[in-house]
Amino acid sequence: MVARVSRIEVSPDKLEDALAQFRDETLGSFQAQDGFDGVTLLVDRGAGVILGTTFWESEEHMTRAEAVGEEARQKAAQTGGATAEPTREVFDVAVVQTAQV
């Protein structure tokens, strides 16, 4: 499994708009991609920072969905009034543990 991590710095007063745009418009684009295994969004509301992580079955799947990731970063940056260029990094996933509810 691999993960693509994006950092998007937005205006704190537009952060909720960027999150809503992701939930309402962008999430479905990721879900439609072969090999998509999930997503997390971490936010620092005071600083206006969004860390988005998408999880993929393989690097090949992630690479095929690169255009979706780039579009997602640009839309979030535009909607949120970006204060810096979005960044992107790729990591291998070493440990996954979720709580059983």
Domain presence at residue 97: no
Q: Which domain holds residue 30?
A: 14-92
**Residue 75: CATH number of its domain:** 3.30.70
Domain presence at residue 6: no
Q: How many domains does the chain have?
A: 1
Mean pLDDT (10-residue bins), the chain, 101 residues: 96 95 94 95 96 96 94 92 93 88 59
Question: What local confidence, expressed as pLDDT, does residue 101 receive?
Answer: 59
Question: What local confidence, expressed as pLDDT, does residue 80 receive?
Answer: 93
Domain presence at residue 86: yes
- Judge whether 22 and 77 are in contact, CB under 8 Å: no
Note if the pTM is more than 0.85.
Answer: yes
Residue 24 burial by Cβ neighbours in a 10 Å radius (0-12, 13-18, 19+): exposed
Question: What local confidence, expressed as pLDDT, does residue 97 receive?
Answer: 85
Domain presence at residue 4: no
Domain presence at residue 100: no
- Cα 57 to Cα 92: distance, rounded to the nearest angstrom: 10
Q: What is the DSSP string of 52-79?
A: EEEEESSHHHHHHTHHHHHHHHHHHHHH
Domain presence at residue 72: yes
